[in-house]
Structure formats: structure tokens, C-alpha cells
Amino acid sequence: MKIRILILRFAAYLVIAIGFSVSSLNALASGTGTEDLINMAEDGNPMAQRMLGERYAMGLEGAPLDFEKAIFWWNKAAENGDAFAQYNLGVFYKLGQGSMEKDYVQAYMWFSIAEAFAKDTTSGRAAKKKAENEKKSIEPSMTSQQIQKAQSMADIWIMKH
């Protein structure tokens, strides 16, 4: 019972914190099946990769609740420049979900990457704002050295991608 309550609380946090993008919501509402999303994700579609991660993170639309698969697909989408997937990884590091230990340095890094990759669109600006707010929320729990390290790691990741 306690685990179920924790999962439900986490799911509610994801809905609020991740704030599915409008395009994600449209695709989820359009009835795109999980098998179709898997095929698109395997073909390298970053939106499909992110949405698949969201489904696994929430246990939706025929995708079982599986944080490891969510992390896997968000990493793929993040590599393909999806700011919301990068943001989602930051949230997982902030909370310590799945195989990720709570790690504010990694969280800050991913939030910084999401800010840099956010496009100048409505959903991109939303991702950027969410990432900025999350960075501000964890900064008081970090030393200046940790923040510098996280920013340096983000800069290196950004240069490689």
C-alpha cells in the first residue's frame, strides 16, 4: 500500500513538474499506440522517444510503470536534442528515481542542458522556464563548487552535441 501511494504521488508530481508539452498531449490523446511509439522511437524520433519515456514513467497507454525504460528513452531523446526529455532526466536526478540516486549536480546539469536546447516555441519556452525554476529550487542545497561542476559538465555535454 505504501509503495502504491508513493507511485501515485510521484505520478502526480510528473504530471505537474514535467508538464507534458502540448504536442505530447495531442499525440497521447490521438490514440497513438505504444507499439507505434516504440517503432517511431526505435527509428530515432525524439518526440516518440520522450513520449514513450513519459508513458513508462507514468504506466500509461499499455506501457507498464518502468522507470528504467523511462530513463532509457529519455536518454535517447535527450541525445537527439529534446529539451523536455533533458528536463525529465533532471527531475529524476532531483528526486532520485529509478536507478538514479538523488544527485543535485546531475539534476542541475540536465536542467542547464534543457535550457540550452529549448527552442523558441511555446513548448520550448515552457521547458526552459521549468528548467530555470528547478535549478533555482535546488541551488540553496548546493555549494558553489557543485554548481560550477554541474555547469561545466553541461557545457561539455552541449559542446559534444
pLDDT digits (tens, 9 = 90+) for 1-53: 555 444 544 544 444 444 444 455 455 445 678 888 999 999 999 999 999 99
Q: 46-58 vs 22-29: helix axis angle to the nearest 10?
A: 70
pLDDT > 90? residue 61: no
> Closest by alpha carbon to 19, among 138, 139, 114?
114
Question: Is residue 87 within 8 Å of residue 130, measured between CB atoms?
Answer: yes
Alpha helices in 59-161 (DSSP H): 67-79, 83-95, 104-117, 122-138, 144-160
Element (H, E) at 49: helix 46-58
How high is the mean pLDDT of the chain? Answer: 85
CATH entry, 2-160, from 1.10.3470, 2.40.50, 1.25.40, 1.10.287 = 1.25.40
d(CA 121, CA 40): 23
CA–CA gap between residue 24 and residue 50 (Å, rounded): 9
pLDDT at 94 over 70: yes
What pLDDT, on a 0 to 100 scale, did the predictor assign at position 5?
Answer: 45
pTM: 0.81
Closest CA to 27 of 50, 43, 11, 8: 50
Q: Per-residue confidence at 122, pLDDT binned at 50, 70, 90? A: confident
Across the range 85-112, mean pLDDT stands at 94
